[in-house]
Amino acid sequence: MQRFKALDVFRGMTVCLMIIVNTPGTWKAGHIFAPFLHAPWDGFTPTDLVFPSFLFAVGTAFAFVKSRWADKTMADVFGKIAKRTLIIFFLGYFLSWFPFVKWADGELVGKSFESTRFLGVLGRIALCYFFAAILIFYLNKRQLIIASGIILFGYWGIMAGFGDFTLENNFGRTVDLLLLGDTHMYHGEGIAFDPEGILSTFPAIVNVIGGYLAGAYIIMGKEITYEKVAKLFMYGCILMVLSYAWDLGFPINKKLWTSSYVLLTIGINLTMLAGLIYAIDFKPKPISFNFFEIFGKNPLFIYVFSIFLVKVISFFKIDGQSIYAWSYENLFLWMGPKTGSLVFALLFMMICWSVGKWLDRKKIYIRV
């Protein structure tokens, strides 16, 4: 696939921030700067942009590979899509269960299948990739926009008609409890509620479609023009305005992945991508983004590696503490709780970047 530097940088910035927000020194209250936390419920923080940006980048990449589907049968295309979906999904499930044992009262006990979480970030990426790929294969651009509208308005109608927009009573939670069961869901909110649940995955598909439409527009005519960049920025601003209008009836909420949240994140992504293209391709003195390109060339692998590394250093112990907790408290906490926690996350990110740098130096680009 032809490399598109702005897309590599965009993906790289996303993965970089994903790792930083996922690995603070500790999750204790008061130890994390506010911009690196998700909004408690309704509302929006910079951290809430990270995941949808990755989905947007997945969609943008589709624009560069769809032309290769033209001479292939549906069976061939579907086989490749299904294979990639299953690999990403089961990678996520494997990492959720890994290392298959846990500490309980100083002893190792097995992590039972009944307590494993089925869905998660990688699970949502897999499902959104699958459904978006099928839609992109079958539908033209106009039809994709119509399908996106149906998904977003349909999700709003279902959520408003069968519950409310609270943690306890949203219909997405009802569906997950029915189909997944309490023990296979996320419990970080104090009750069984999965922010990557089944129903809320459908509006997330639109983030992928939005990325595809942006990528298809950029490469249309095989030349990136200043007019295209300006229009990308304009479309982004329009979507952001529409999102805040929709917020009055369907609040911007990352954990419910509301339709207004989808419009807001796609709008921000469009303006970001326009800004990157301008800085890289049009600015008289182009800005170097080589640091982020390292992440962008192996985004999925580096993200999976970061999760694996967290699991490992959270499992093994020093003086009765996990290596993760011991490192923060003994090496970083002296800087102050928030600063130390951020420096810990930045150092962890740099370790992951170093792995990406080594892969890039060896010209190794891992594709699923």
pLDDT value, residue 288:
76
Contact 173, 198 (CB under 8 A): no
**Whole-angstrom distance, CA of residue 193 vs CA of residue 254:** 13
pLDDT, one tens digit per residue, over 49-68 is 999 999 999 999 888 877 77
Provide the token pair at 293: 């390109």
pLDDT, position 2: 47
**Do 111 and 100 touch, CB atoms closer than 8 A?**
yes
Q: What is the mean pLDDT of residues 15-29?
A: 92
What would the pLDDT profile of 351-360 be if each residue is shown by its tens digit? 999 999 999 9
Give bridge partners of residue 102 from the DSSP assignment. 109
Q: Which pLDDT value is given to residue 39?
A: 92
Q: How confident is the model at residue 273 (pLDDT cuts 50, 70, 90)?
A: very high
Residue 1: pLDDT above 80? no
The gap from C-alpha 130 to its chain's centroid, in whole angstroms, comes to 15
Return the percentage of the chain with pLDDT > 90, whole number.
65
Structure-block tokens of residue 345: 């996350």
- Is pLDDT at 317 greater than 70 in this prediction? yes
CB-CB contact of 225 with 278 (8 Å)? no
Taking only the tens place, the pLDDT of each residue in 64-108 is 877 777 677 778 888 888 999 999 999 988 888 888 777 776 777
Helix, strand counts (H, E) of the chain: 13, 4
Quick one: pLDDT band at residue 147, thresholds 50, 70, 90? very high
pLDDT at 187: 87
